[in-house]
Amino acid sequence: MIVDGSEPAFEVGLFPTKVDQEAEDDRFYRALVPFDSFDDVVRRDRYRPLPNDWIIAVTDVSRSTEAIEQGRYREVNTAGAAVLAAVSNALPDLQFPSTFGGDGASFAAPSAYSSIIKDTLAKTAAWAEDALGLTLRIAVIPIADIRAQHLDVLVARFAPSSNVTYAMFTGGGLAWAERKLKQGGYTVPRAPMGVTADLTGLSCRFAPISTKHGVILSLIVVPRDDPTSFVELIQELLRTLRSHQPDLHPLPAEGPLPPWTGDHLDRAIKKGSRKMPFAAWAAKGSRVILARAGTLRGIPIGGFHEDRFRQELVENTDYRKFDDGLRMTVDCSSELADIIDARLEEAQRRGACFFGTHRQLAANLTCFVPSPTQANHVHFVDGASGGYAYAAANLKRNVASSLGIQGARALAAHVRPIRHSV
């Protein structure tokens, strides 16, 4: 695990462009020392406020609930992950923090890159609508506007393995930015028909991953009235999960088995990938076939070793995160899911949190693999039948039930009652 500040090969959600002279702001995220114990997500001293001259970009799929009800959640997940792949390809050198939310993604970057970011996101929205039939909403907001609301965006780096780190967010500013997006503020329109972003490395070739223990539980817990009670709740929740079931990872230890044939999502992604000359495409296809044939016999070919890749895949998956609240996708028993729901309901009654959960029988995996021979591939996991999107919908219902309709509207229209939750 990374504990000494050394740089892994790739930082999840860190996306850049080449500059002649690196600015101080460009080094902000890279300078944060990673932590490798997830319990530290509620330690305030792990977080640092974003520099003043930064922007927040937030995206989500409009009417994602309808798409999920139509059985199209893989497409929804793909559109969310496409944001991170596109920005990563457009800005391949500058490191900056991001988070995947199932039906969208959010990230922060220096404002010097605003024009590149807006252009890339506009192209990604065009691809999502033209190739997938989904409307991707986009907002880009100056951090100064968030701080004018007496909120902030603080960032930390969590290292789930020695290969990657993921960004954690607190301060209430990211949640406010997401609300502004849904209210139609700071919007970036899609690019014209036929324009697309570069999605090279994005992949959805793994089949849904069935539960080992009975339930894939999608969970969102956000602060309510008392930051101290919220922190204590998260600590207790993590202890409960570990003590009842140490193996919560939604992926099997050997990694999920991919289907042998592509599908419409792969074809849609290819429309957004760099065009390759036929000879290069054929050579790449031959290498993949040879690599698969070789690894069936345990022989690495062309630098690709499937057993090692699968181990890295499990280690690099983002099944737990913190972005103005705890989000987890875990594989657990129905009994443990009942215990978690009961404890969260009690905590919600006493004002420590609001929460939403959703249960399903499988998980989806969406991948960004810059190179199959390097350890820097990243993998975004979500429940396969609604996941974070349905958990968020249940969270909203719990807010409305607890506060009443008028109170819930007031909470959504103004600011979160807790400025700094950790």
Token pair recorded at residue 407: 């109170």
User: Please, are residues 81 and 377 in contact by the beta-carbon 8 Å criterion?
Assistant: no
Q: What is the pLDDT of residues 74-106, one digit of tens each?
A: 999 999 999 999 999 999 888 889 999 999 999
For the beta carbon of residue 148, count every other beta carbon within 10 angstroms: 9
Q: State the pLDDT at residue 5.
A: 33
| Interatomic CA distance for residues 240 and 248, integer angstroms | 11
Rounded distance between C-alpha atoms, residue 255 and residue 308, angstroms: 10
Cβ neighbours of residue 302 under 8 Å, at least 6 residues apart? 287, 290, 291, 373
Taking the C-alpha atoms of residue 313 and residue 307, their distance in angstroms, rounded to an integer, is 10
407 or 139: which leads in pLDDT:
139
Identity of residue 382: D
Q: What average pLDDT does this structure show over 169-194?
A: 95
User: In DSSP terms, which residues pair with 218 in a beta bridge?
Assistant: 329, 358
Q: What pLDDT does residue 273 have?
A: 62
Higher pLDDT, 415 or 141: 141
Residue 277: per-residue pLDDT: 40
Q: Is the pLDDT of residue 408 over 70?
A: no
Measure the CA dihedral 412/415/418/419, to 10°.
Answer: 150
Report the SS3 class of residue 31: helix
| End-to-end CA gap in the chain | 23
Which one is predicted more confidently, 104 or 421? 104
pLDDT at 399: 94
119: tokens are 């252009």
Long-range contacts of 339-346 (CB under 8 A, 24+ apart): 339/240, 339/244, 340/217, 340/219, 340/237, 340/240, 340/241, 343/236, 343/237, 343/240, 344/221, 344/237
Per-residue confidence (pLDDT) for residue 153, from 0 to 100: 98
What is the predicted pLDDT for the residue at 262? Answer: 54
> Confidence class of residue 281 from pLDDT cuts 50, 70 and 90?
very low
d(CA 290, CA 301): 7
Q: Which of 24-28, 66-70, 267-271 has the highest mean pLDDT?
A: 66-70
Q: Is the pLDDT of residue 218 over 70?
A: yes
Can you give the pLDDT at residue 403?
80
pLDDT of residue 409: 54
Helix axes 73-90, 114-127, angle to 10 degrees: 150
For the chain, state the CA radius of gyration.
Answer: 21
pLDDT of residue 18: 42
Give the model's pLDDT for residue 132: 94
SS3 353: strand
User: What pLDDT score does 20 carry?
Assistant: 39
Query: Alpha-carbon distance 245 to 260, whole Å?
Result: 33
306-322 pLDDT per residue, tens: 767 777 888 889 999 99
Chain mean pLDDT for the chain: 83
Residue spans of alpha helices (H) in 221-321: 227-244, 264-271, 278-296, 306-315
Confidence label for 256 from pLDDT (cuts 50, 70 and 90): low
Predicted confidence (pLDDT) at residue 11 exceeds the cutoff of 80 = no
pLDDT band at residue 373, thresholds of 50, 70 and 90? Answer: low
* Burial grade of 240 (CB within 10 A; 0-12, 13-18, 19 or more): middle
The per-residue pLDDT for 269 is 81
- Residue 402's pLDDT band, with cuts at 50, 70 and 90, is confident
367 or 16, which is more confident: 367
Tokens of 344: 């969260």
Proportion of the chain above pLDDT 90, given as a percent? 63
Domain residue spans of the chain: 25-255+309-413
pLDDT at 420: 44
